[in-house]
Structure 1
Amino acid sequence: MTTDADAFLSALRLSDSFLPVGGYTASYGLEQYLNEGRIETHDELEAVVAAFLRRVVGPCEVVALSNAHAASADAALDAFCAVDERLHAVTMPREFRESSTKAGAKLCELLFEVDGDRAFDAAVANAIDADETPGHYPVVFGAVAQTRGLSRREACLAYAHAFVTGLLGAAQRLGRFGHTAIQSILESLRPVIAAVCDRYVERDPSAMVSFAPLAEIMGMRHERAGRRLFMS
């Protein structure tokens, strides 16, 4: 792990819900789980989030992020776009794709404006603006993390932690779980986050796959829900 202060602070910044990329509007179908009474207890919520980590975040998004990080290190825009297209292809629910690409475009735009002109950031931003690549959030996150000094593993850990806190924050804002329960689940999931990142950080883009059929169904049903606090 890095001891560089700038890289460490960048990891905190990128994994903080304070970062205005719209993550607070996404529940990735969790709201629908709650609407249908499929999650009622602390243990059930923890199991669903752990399943997201093992079935979606790890084998799909961590793989995409890690390879986007490598593409950024090599300044290889074609490789970056290939990873982005692969992630787009394996992300089935439309709501999930839209949430991810909106957040990716916003992250790229925000940091490009705030942090100044970094060559690969600019190349990615231009490719997204020209519709040459979808600009999924994990892929943009990987490139941004690399240009700010995070290692591949550090970037994956920061992303996975942010994903988990986003889902748990959604559950809390929906009024079903209190602060203590949420913090207890977050603590319990720390080993899962680390294990998932370690397992998938070195995988090739061709291994990228997502298998969470119930979560995908919940995301699709959520799109037609009569009332929604979240966009996905």
Structure 2
Amino acid sequence: MFDPALLKLLQLSDSALPIGSYSHSWGLETWVQQGQLSSSDELLAVLRTLLEQSIAPVDGLACAMAYQASANRLGGPDFIQLNQILTATKWAKEPQRASLDLGRRLVSLAQRLDWLQELPPGQYWHHCTVFGWLTYQLNIAIEPAVTAYLLSNLMSLTSAAVRLIPLGHSQGQQVLAALHTQVFEQARWCCATAGRADPLTHLGSFTPQHELACQAHQNLYSRLFQS
């Protein structure tokens, strides 16, 4: 059966989507240059930790909350506040700017594709909130949307690691496949938490070494990636 929503979700979560995500390493370049990330086993450990301690409880949850905001249309302030909190949470300059740039470019692309029925409230949007807002408008169910968002983040990180370490493409795919169960579990947690009365109280991460790596990236002697 033809499912246009599924096709759009697959296209949105493709790492080749022309919004610039392939040009960011999100701090991995720092660790590779420092010799702290040099194998597929280390990459698997890093991605599992980032997924469970940072990506899902911040951007994944925000994606689910933005989906709910798009579904409920409960005015702009809640959505605007969510983006403001994300900006404050992402204190390292490069990933903060990258997240906002990707959000802006995704809005622009969605408009050109005629996929965006209604602009998100406010003027500044993070990638995760635009993804959540847009997937509701495309009639994509919340759990597949958030699952795809989390996996696309890991795909972007894996793509950067394959080029940086370097790794074989098959090794990168093995790392991603090993994380499927965690991706599904974290997506379910994000969706369930977004439906609570106080989801903002659950939004937060604790990955100080990764945040320091992101901040240190701008001072590396040579860089292949923007963040």
**TM-score normalised by L of structure 1:** 0.91
Residue 146 of structure 1 is matched in structure 2 by 136
Aligned letter for 2:103? Answer: G
Which 5+ residue runs of structure 1 have no aligned equivalent?
A: 129-133
Does structure 2 conserve the Cα–Cα contact (< 8 Å) formed by 1:59 and 1:210? yes
Structure 1 residues 139 and 117, CA gap change in structure 2 (3 angstroms): closer
Structure 1 vs Structure 2: percent identity of aligned residues? 29
**How many residues end up aligned between the 2 structures?**
221
Match of 1:55 among 53, 57, 71: 53
Could you tell me which residue of structure 1 aligns to residue 106 of structure 2?
107
Is 1:95 aligned to residue 94 of structure 2?
yes
Q: Report whether the alignment pairs 1:184 with 2:171.
A: no
Structure 1 residue 114 displacement after superposition: 2.0
CA gap 1:218/1:209 in 2 versus in 1, 3 angstroms? same
- How big is the alpha-carbon RMSD for the aligned residues of Structure 1 and Structure 2? 1.5
Q: Does 1:218 align with 2:213?
A: yes
Which residue is equivalent to 1:34?
32
Letter in 1 for 2:176: L
Unaligned runs of 5+ in 2: 194-198
What code does the residue aligned with 2:61 have? V
**What are the within-5 Å matches in structure 2 for residues 61-210 of structure 1?**
61-76=59-74, 77-115=76-114, 118=117, 120=118, 122-124=119-121, 127-128=122-123, 134-203=124-193, 204-210=199-205
SS at match of 1:115: coil
Q: Name the structure 1 match of 2:196.
A: none
Q: Deviation digits for residues 122-172 of structure 1, max 9, x if unmatched?
A: 354xx32xxxxx311000110011100112211110101100000000011
CA distance 1:116–1:63, change in 2 (3 Å): closer
Amino acid at match of 1:9: L
Distance 1:213 1:115, change over 3 A: same
Q: TM-score, normalised by structure 2?
A: 0.93
Which residue is 1:131 aligned to?
none
2:26 partner amino acid: Y
- State the Cα deviation string for residues 44-71 of structure 1 (Å, max 9, x = none): 1100011110111111111101110000
| Conservation of the 8 A alpha-carbon contact between 1:153 and 1:197 | yes
One-letter amino acid of the counterpart of residue 202, structure 2: A
Distance 1:153 1:200 in 2: 9
Amino acid at match of 2:129: V
